[in-house]
Amino acid sequence: MDRRLSLVVLAAGEGKRFRSEVPKPLHAVAGRPLLWHVLAAAAPLGADPAVVVVGRGADQVTAAIGGFGLGQVRTAVQAEQLGTGHAVACAVPELPPSGEVLVLYGDTPLLTTATLTALVGAHRAAGAAMTLLTCQAADPTGYGRVLRDDAGAVTGIVEHGDASPGQLAITEVNAGVYVFDRQALDLLGKVQPDNRQGEYYLPDLLPLVLAGGGTVASASADELEAQGVNDRAQLAEAGVVLRRRALEALMADGVTVVDPATTYIDVDVTVGRDTTLLPLTFLEAGTSIGQGCTIGPNTRLTGCTVAEGASVTQAVGVRATVGPRAVVGPFAYLRPGAELGPGSKVGTYVEVKGSTIGAGSKVPHLTYVGDADIGEHVNIGAGVIFVNYDGSAKHRTTVGDNAFVGSDTMLVAPLTIGAGSQTGAGSTITQDVPDGALAIERAEQRNIPGWVERRRRRAEGDDRHDATPGGDREAPA
């Protein structure tokens, strides 16, 4: 018995009901394209080869698959969408001549690895030539109905559009997930397009397998697993289920989710034990949170890494790294390449881009940090701007350990602020500052004693005099 497993995923369809320029397999749900979900569910089965049948938007879909990070996946092109049976036939030249073939449709993102593993097990246990997954559907509209004889053996599948009124009442539906013996696929040439849609239906292989003396087995799964996504309403419904599963898995692993209804977690986001997720937290694809963190409320992190014990409040982060015990927000924006060291702080109305902030350094208020390397235990005063852009190019600034940058300092890059140095508040610093120095750049202050009182008297008694400060050229008394 050759048990080498191949995988075929059908993703060539028109996806008409999406009314979109984007091919249906690439529409995202819970942070990943539809097709990614199906391939991810199958990946642990280790099928080789894995072949995706592409058609509509073939180039785009093929290019995207390369970036999925789900191992080696080949594509086969179905130039004309003549039906699911025809689509599988397009993949056959990519398959070895024997073994088992798992066939999935690319629009069923709720399929689980456990169900696929069980289906392959059922196929092997029954010594079947074809095994299909079926579900009891509360509303079977649109699905193929499973036909059984009096003994309960599967005899065929009839599509919704081809079903008689009696068949429409059947609630057991075809999930569109099958295991075939590779040889059974040789019968695809005999499938005829004699149905309402004039298509070559993959389920029509079933009676041909039976006629050839093969065994057809079935396994059943929860209705959700079959849920095909044919339009954007179904895409949103699938998102609800995928997010709920992600939240349930996190809570089971020891994460506190204060309000699951307003917490949005993409698939494959990881969160450590004893972390608390506060309401209106969005953890998007590629994000990983350590243990004992507090995230939210009102926080959106995409592709971010947050280490243990950190707290992120009312913040937006994109491809940023937050070190252990660092404190972020409220109202902070971490842009790509922001790397916050252990115990550092990025506070209120602070934006950080392409910069490292060393251990224990603090940027507490109203600051833009762009393209900077800030050492350890640095204090950045309120209202500091790292002036990184001269209108044509970006430049970097380095701030040494233990430096103290005064409030409202403009640091005009390229620039090096030495270790242990200080800048005077309100300075525009354009030249490097040596270690331990004070850099101060501002006009000297002039105090004019009694000026306010004199102005008031003039304004009341004698309006021949100009009472504005600029008009008063009188030297200090």
Give the residue numbers annotated as catalytic, written as ranges.
365
- Count other C-beta atoms under 10 Å from residue 334's C-beta: 29
Of 107 and 204, the one with the shorter C-beta distance to Ca ion is 107
For 274, half-sphere exposure in the C-beta direction (CA atoms, 13 angstrom radius) is 6
Of 108 and 427, the one with the shorter C-beta distance to Ca ion is 108
Among the residues of 43-155, which ranges form H helices? 58-66, 84-91, 113-126
Site string for Ca ion, 105-124 (x = CB under 5 A): --x-----------------
Please choose which of ligand UD1, Ca ion, none residue 89 contacts, taking the beta carbon within 5 to 8 angstroms, the exact cut-off set by kind: none
Name the one residue in this structure whose structure tokens are 């649109």: 142
Closest by CA to 362, choosing from 383, 350, 380, 349, is 380
Give, in order, the Cα–Cα distances in Å from 20 to each of 27, 184, 232, 259, 404: 9, 36, 10, 34, 54
Please choose which of Ca ion, ligand UD1, none residue 36 contacts, taking the beta carbon within 5 to 8 angstroms, the exact cut-off set by kind: none
Q: How far is the CB of 292 from ligand UD1 (least distance, A)?
A: 42
Q: Which residues contact 199 (CB under 8 A, 6 or more apart)?
A: 82, 83, 84, 85, 86, 193
Site string for Ca ion, 378-417 (x = CB under 5 A): ----------------------------------------
Give, in order, the Cα–Cα distances in Å from 302 to each of 242, 343, 396: 17, 22, 25
Q: How far is the CB of 255 from Ca ion (least distance, A)?
A: 34
What is the spatial distance between Cα 10 and Cα 472, in angstroms, rounded to a whole number?
Answer: 83
Q: In degrees to the nearest 10, what's the CA dihedral of 232, 238, 240, 246? A: -140
Q: How far is the CB of 167 from Ca ion (least distance, A)?
A: 19
**Which of 144, 228, 290, 323 forms a contact with Ca ion (CB under 5 A)?**
228
Q: Which stretch binds Ca ion (CB under 5 A): 222-230, 256-264, 299-307, 358-366?
A: 222-230
Q: How far is the CB of 105 from Ca ion (least distance, A)?
A: 6
Of 58 and 316, the one with the shorter C-beta distance to ligand UD1 is 58
What is the spatial distance between Cα 95 and Cα 81, in angstroms, rounded to a whole number?
Answer: 20
Of 11 and 30, the one with the shorter C-beta distance to ligand UD1 is 11
Of 234 and 275, the one with the shorter C-beta distance to ligand UD1 is 234
Task: List contacts with ligand UD1 (CB under 6 A).
Answer: 10-13, 53, 55, 78, 81-84, 86-87, 105-108, 143-144, 157, 159, 173-176, 201-203, 226, 228, 230
Closest chain position to ligand UD1 (CB): 144
Of 195 and 314, the one with the shorter C-beta distance to ligand UD1 is 195
Q: Is 431 exposed, middle or buried (0-12, 13-18, 19+ CB in 10 A)?
A: exposed
Q: Which stretch binds Ca ion (CB under 5 A): 63-71, 101-109, 250-258, 409-417?
A: 101-109
Amino acid at 252: A
| DSSP SS3 for 133 | strand
β-bridge mates for residue 340, sequence order? 322, 357
Q: How far is the CB of 101 from Ca ion (least distance, A)?
A: 20
Please choose which of Ca ion, ligand UD1, none residue 53 contacts, taking the beta carbon within 5 to 8 angstroms, the exact cut-off set by kind: ligand UD1
Q: How far is the CB of 6 from Ca ion (least distance, A)?
A: 22
Please choose which of Ca ion, ligand UD1, none residue 264 contacts, taking the beta carbon within 5 to 8 angstroms, the exact cut-off set by kind: none
Q: How far is the CB of 46 from Ca ion (least distance, A)?
A: 26
What is the spatial distance between Cα 149 and Cα 70, in angstroms, rounded to a whole number?
Answer: 41
Q: Which stretch binds Ca ion (CB under 5 A): 127-135, 227-235, 299-307, 458-466?
A: 227-235
Q: How far is the CB of 110 from ligand UD1 (least distance, A)?
A: 11
Site string for Ca ion, 19-58 (x = CB under 5 A): ----------------------------------------
Q: Which residues contact 268 (CB under 8 A, 6 or more apart)?
A: 31, 32, 40, 285, 286
What is the spatial distance between Cα 240 and Cα 242, in angstroms, rounded to a whole number?
Answer: 6
- Count other C-beta atoms under 10 Å from residue 434's C-beta: 14
| DSSP SS3 for 276 | strand
Of 84 and 422, the one with the shorter C-beta distance to ligand UD1 is 84
Closest by CA to 408, choosing from 428, 383, 387, 388, is 383
Q: Are 54 and 77 in contact (CB under 8 A)?
A: yes
Closest by CA to 266, choosing from 133, 431, 58, 109, is 109
Of 175 and 346, the one with the shorter C-beta distance to Ca ion is 175
* Residues at the site binding Ca ion, with contacts judged by CB under 5 A: 107, 228, 230
